[in-house]
Amino acid sequence: MLKKIINTIVVLLFFFFSRAQIAVKADTIFTVAGNPIANGVVLIKDGKIEAVGANLTIPNGYTTYTAKIVTPGLIDARSVVGFSGAYNVPSDQDQIEKSSPIQPELRAVDAYNPEDKLVEYVRRNGITTLHTGHGIGALFSGQTMVVKTKAGLTDEVTVKPLAMIAMTIGPSVSTNYSSPGTKGKQIAMLRTELLKAQITMKAGLKDSSKANSSDLKQQMLQMLLKREVKALIEANTAVDIMDAIRVAKEFNLALVIEGGAEAYRLIGQIKSAHVEIIVHATMARPSGDMLNMTMENAAILTKAGIPVSIESGYEGYVPKTRIVLFEAATAMRYGLSYEDALKAITINPAKLLGLDKQIGSIEKGKDADLVLFNGDPFEYTTKPCIVIIDGKVEVQNQCQ
């Protein structure tokens, strides 16, 4: 009987604190939606931002937290956290399926592990939202998803179960599969699959019995052709980026280039093709198809009027992931402005993912995802002291 009473109390306390009314006070609030607010206050109620402004009156009953700097929850524009696990052993490496180079039907929600230690790691560093999923290294490696990094089961943390279809053009494909072995073969196989889907789709429009609705691969490829889902293509060299643009133009795909190590060489082509860009981690290694990368990439693209999101990407070694806050800070050292660096890990990826009405900035009605810092977020010695996700304090780091 006593055990039941204790369990009931625990459940009630959890419900109360998870729905708590919170006030956040800060010397400066970077809303990303406008100018920074000095002596700012954010009021949070029922998981949403209730109000934000300077010197707001805090109602009775609100739990108050203070900080030097407050930013929106940070967004990693492209990750494999939850798929490529922290231990770097076969049992926690689900980011790439090597039985076939063409598998757009692989669902991210079926493989994501919300209990991966890396989810906790990025959360403690202020990352509140991940665009994660099947990784690079296959022509069609599978689907991506958007999740909150809060604790919970997959269904509880998922924001968007299907975000994009992950694809790759480049040498990693030939490393993982015997065919395709060359770049020409890669593009030929991509075009063949898309042409098949195009023919099937047209036949289905004329005759519903030919719609092939039970073929999961065809379903996903047809969603690409209908622009219902974006084509996320990993491409780093100028040749690979142009191949991706050419294929996207031929099939009218909504194209997002991931990596884009040589995107700075193709400003005109990227702008005219209306391509969205997720740039490689600033401190990535300049080797292989990223040999000609530059740490100025994000700054060059931004100054040319191309919105940039920064990714952590995939790392083949322990600890298996990067923190986009540090990557954005390094991009600042190489020409990206303070404002644009913050946008590259907040509102820009939110827009890219079609979630800018929900996350990415501190505005009334949006999800209450906030990071409370004890100093300038882009200073290496600064720490995220408190991380709030959906109005609940998920992290309280020691910030003495």
More confident residue, 9 or 80: 80
Total structural domains in the chain?
A: 2
Predicted confidence band at 157 (pLDDT cuts at 50, 70, 90)? very high
Is residue 119 domain-shared with residue 87, that is, in the same domain? Answer: yes
More confident residue, 16 or 76: 76
Question: Residue 155 is part of a domain; what is its CATH number?
Answer: 3.20.20.140
Is residue 298 domain-shared with residue 383, that is, in the same domain? Answer: no
357 assigned to some structural domain:
no
Q: What is the pLDDT of residues 18-56, one digit of tens each?
A: 457 999 999 999 999 999 999 999 999 999 999 999 989
pLDDT for the residue 192: 97
Q: Mean pLDDT in the chain? A: 94
Is residue 103 domain-shared with residue 165, that is, in the same domain? Answer: yes
Is residue 38 domain-shared with residue 83, that is, in the same domain? Answer: no
Is residue 102 domain-shared with residue 244, that is, in the same domain? Answer: yes
Is residue 53 domain-shared with residue 163, that is, in the same domain? Answer: no
Is residue 260 domain-shared with residue 369, that is, in the same domain? Answer: no
358 assigned to some structural domain:
no
Q: What is the DSSP string of 16-38?
A: HHHT--EEEEEEEE--SSSS-EE
Tell whether the model's pLDDT for residue 13 goes beyond 60: no
Is residue 162 domain-shared with residue 199, that is, in the same domain? Answer: yes
- Tell me if the pTM is above 0.85: yes
pLDDT above 90 covers a percentage of the chain that reads 88
Residue 90 neighbours by CB under 8 Å, 6+ apart: none
Is residue 265 domain-shared with residue 221, that is, in the same domain? Answer: yes
Check: CB of residue 397 under 8 Å from CB of residue 384: yes
Domain membership of residue 54 as a residue range: 2-72+363-396
Question: Residue 41 is part of a domain; what is its CATH number?
Answer: 2.30.40.10
Q: What is the pLDDT of residues 239-289, one digit of tens each?
A: 999 999 999 999 999 999 999 999 999 999 999 999 999 999 999 999 999
Alpha-carbon gap, residue 137 to 165, rounded angstroms: 13
Is residue 339 domain-shared with residue 378, that is, in the same domain? Answer: no
Q: What is the DSSP string of 222-290?
A: HHHHTTSSEEEEEE-SHHHHHHHHHHHHHHT--EEEEE-TTGGG-HHHHHHTT-EEEEPPTT----GGG
Q: What is the pLDDT of residues 102-126, one digit of tens each?
A: 999 999 999 999 999 999 999 999 9
Tell whether the model's pLDDT for residue 5 goes beyond 60: no
Is residue 23 domain-shared with residue 157, that is, in the same domain? Answer: no
Is residue 29 domain-shared with residue 125, that is, in the same domain? Answer: no
